[in-house]
Amino acid sequence: MNWLDIDKEHVWHPYNSLPSRSTLLPVKSTDKTTIFLETGEELIDGMSSWWSAIHGYNNPRLNEALKSQVEIMPHIMFGGLAHEKAAVLSKLLVDITGLHSVFLCDSGSVSVEVSLKTAIQYQEAKGLKKYKFLACEHAYHGDTLAAMSVCDPNNSMHSIYGSYLPKHIFTKAPALGFDSDCSEAIEALELNFEKHHEELAGFIIEPIVQGAGGMRIYNPIYLKKARELCDKYDVLFIADEIATGFGHTGKMFACEWADIKPDILTLGKGLTGGYMTMAAMITSKNVSQTISNSDLGILMHGPTFMANPLACAVAIESINLLLETSWQERVLKIEKIFQEELKDAKNIKIVKDIRNIGAIGVIELKDESHAQEIQDYCVKNGVWIRPFGKLIYSIVAYTIEENDLRKVVQVMIEAIKTIKSK
């Protein structure tokens, strides 16, 4: 039995069946922005492993950071013990976010869980019984149960889990488009705050780009307004920048587009440059002090692999590498190339919309029946993308070569045209 057969028989893949219903491509190795398959084929990586490999793969500095840390200390429990790499990473995160208190955990979904627990504990500390969250339609905040409960109920896995999930409040998502008028969504937001503020612990949102719930880019004015409302009603503003963080929208953090600071920020995906699973929840000093000064006085969470030193070491190197390079120029250049190349898709009959910002390019189709076909065509033509539903999109490493990026978009468009002409 070769290993791919074992995999197909015994190993779950994301949102898949066993044995696997869809094709699984055997990856042999990676380098920079190329994926090498066991079959000898090479693919240009148009996904950066779900927003994470922002520097491309096998970066010598990141490899070295990991190798040297493994000799020093691969892991140590974080209960009652401290280590330098966690402190250095946390100080870096504090410096680049302007926030204060860092909780290092395993994955994006866990950081969202912790952010919800933190918000509830904050309100409890103030003597308030506020257990609901306000979230947006089209929101995606992760796959664990509490994270799932703040995902759009009509656009996610809610219904599968019946009445298990807590019921939160959902408000109209801002209109599509960075420059679009979002006053309708703002009105709905105001109404929801007025009506529900007494039970709201927090408002959670993906700033500027709603990711897995629709790759929706929207106007920063919406965030400014939401910040005002959170202040007015003492509802915590939770920015989920697990996807948008570390430069993906052209700013280090997408909240910067609206010139606002959240009370709680979640980071993940790009945090370790795509090397290790790690996420962070970062809060203002007000939040951590309020909880620490309460009767309970502690934040009730502590995963086994909290602040894993290997992950910390590679995250430090990844952030330093980003800060030392002209990443913003590169992302702007990527944005320009996406814009130029995507134009060609606009007039294809089955295309509903094209949009892009920073290192993200999206083609939305009118219906969702073509995702697998489009993926297959792209793979056959040397490009790795992973469409979902109607969304054919690419998020690239900031180090991608211009020609490779142009090819990614051109092949995506060819794939769509092939379908149209059938």
Q: How many CA atoms lie within 13 A of 39 on its CB side?
A: 10
- Residue closest to ligand PLP, measured at CB: 108
H or E segment to which residue 135 belongs: strand 132-136
Q: Binding to ligand PLP by residue 90, rule CB under 6 A?
A: no
Closer Cβ to ligand PLP, 124 or 263, answer by number: 263
* R_g (Cα) of the chain, nearest Å: 21
- Choosing from 142, 220, 274, 358, the residue that interacts with ligand PLP (CB under 6 A) is 142
Stretch that binds ligand PLP, among 35-43, 237-245, 327-335, 375-383 (CB under 6 A): 237-245
Tokens 């408000």 map to which residue?
171
Closer Cβ to ligand PLP, 142 or 358, answer by number: 142
CA torsion, ordered 55, 371, 244, 161, to nearest 10 deg: -130
> Taking Cα atoms as reference points, which of 82, 83, 140 lies closest to residue 269?
140
Q: How many CA atoms lie within 13 A of 153 on its CB side?
A: 16
Stretch that binds ligand PLP, among 20-28, 206-214, 226-234, 354-362 (CB under 6 A): 206-214
- Choosing from 45, 240, 263, 317, the residue that interacts with ligand PLP (CB under 6 A) is 240
Active-site pick, 85, 251, 269, 407: 269
388-393's contacts with Cβ under 8 Å and 24+ in sequence apart are: 388/212, 390/352, 390/364, 390/365, 390/366, 391/214, 391/215, 391/362, 391/363, 391/364, 391/365, 392/362, 392/363, 392/364, 392/365, 392/416, 393/215, 393/360, 393/361, 393/362, 393/363
Stretch that binds ligand PLP, among 197-205, 217-225, 226-234, 236-244 (CB under 6 A): 236-244
Closer Cβ to ligand PLP, 56 or 245, answer by number: 245
- Choosing from 46, 56, 108, 153, the residue that interacts with ligand PLP (CB under 6 A) is 108
Could you tell me the smallest distance in angstroms from the CB atom of residue 295 to ligand PLP?
A: 31
Q: Binding to ligand PLP by residue 109, rule CB under 6 A?
A: yes
Q: Binding to ligand PLP by residue 107, rule CB under 6 A?
A: yes
Residue 289 CB: number of other CB atoms within 10 A? 15
Tokens 């780009």 map to which residue?
209
Catalytic residue check, 269: yes
Active-site pick, 85, 122, 130, 140: 140
**6 CB-near residues (< 8 Å, 6+ apart):** none
Closer Cβ to ligand PLP, 140 or 237, answer by number: 140
Closer Cβ to ligand PLP, 44 or 280, answer by number: 280
Q: Binding to ligand PLP by residue 242, rule CB under 6 A?
A: yes
What is the DSSP-derived secondary structure letter of residue 238? Answer: E
Active-site pick, 45, 240, 263, 404: 240
- Choosing from 136, 212, 312, 365, the residue that interacts with ligand PLP (CB under 6 A) is 212
Task: Tokens for 326, please give them.
Answer: 């002209």
Could you tell me the smallest distance in angstroms from the CB atom of residue 279 to ligand PLP?
A: 6
Q: Binding to ligand PLP by residue 141, rule CB under 6 A?
A: yes
Stretch that binds ligand PLP, among 138-146, 231-239, 364-372, 396-404 (CB under 6 A): 138-146
Catalytic residue check, 218: no
User: Is there a contact between 43 and 288 (Cβ–Cβ < 8 Å)?
Assistant: no
Catalytic residue check, 240: yes
Residue positions counted in the chain: 422
What distance lies between CA 403 and its chain's CA centroid?
A: 26
Q: Binding to ligand PLP by residue 268, rule CB under 6 A?
A: yes
> What is the residue-wise DSSP string for 152-175?
-TTSSSGGGGTT-SPP-EEEPPPP
Q: Binding to ligand PLP by residue 112, rule CB under 6 A?
A: yes
Phi, psi of 407 (to 5 degrees): -65, -40
- Choosing from 206, 317, 335, 404, the residue that interacts with ligand PLP (CB under 6 A) is 206
Q: Binding to ligand PLP by residue 308, rule CB under 6 A?
A: no
Tell how strand 101-105 and strand 279-283 pair up: antiparallel
Could you tell me the smallest distance in angstroms from the CB atom of residue 246 to ligand PLP?
A: 12
Angstrom distance (rounded) from CA 102 to CA 104: 6
Closer Cβ to ligand PLP, 136 or 348, answer by number: 136
Tokens 């090479």 map to which residue?
42
| Residues found near ligand PLP in the complex (CB under 6 A) | 107-109, 112, 140-142, 206, 211-212, 240, 242-243, 268-269
Q: Which residues are catalytic?
A: 15, 140, 240, 269
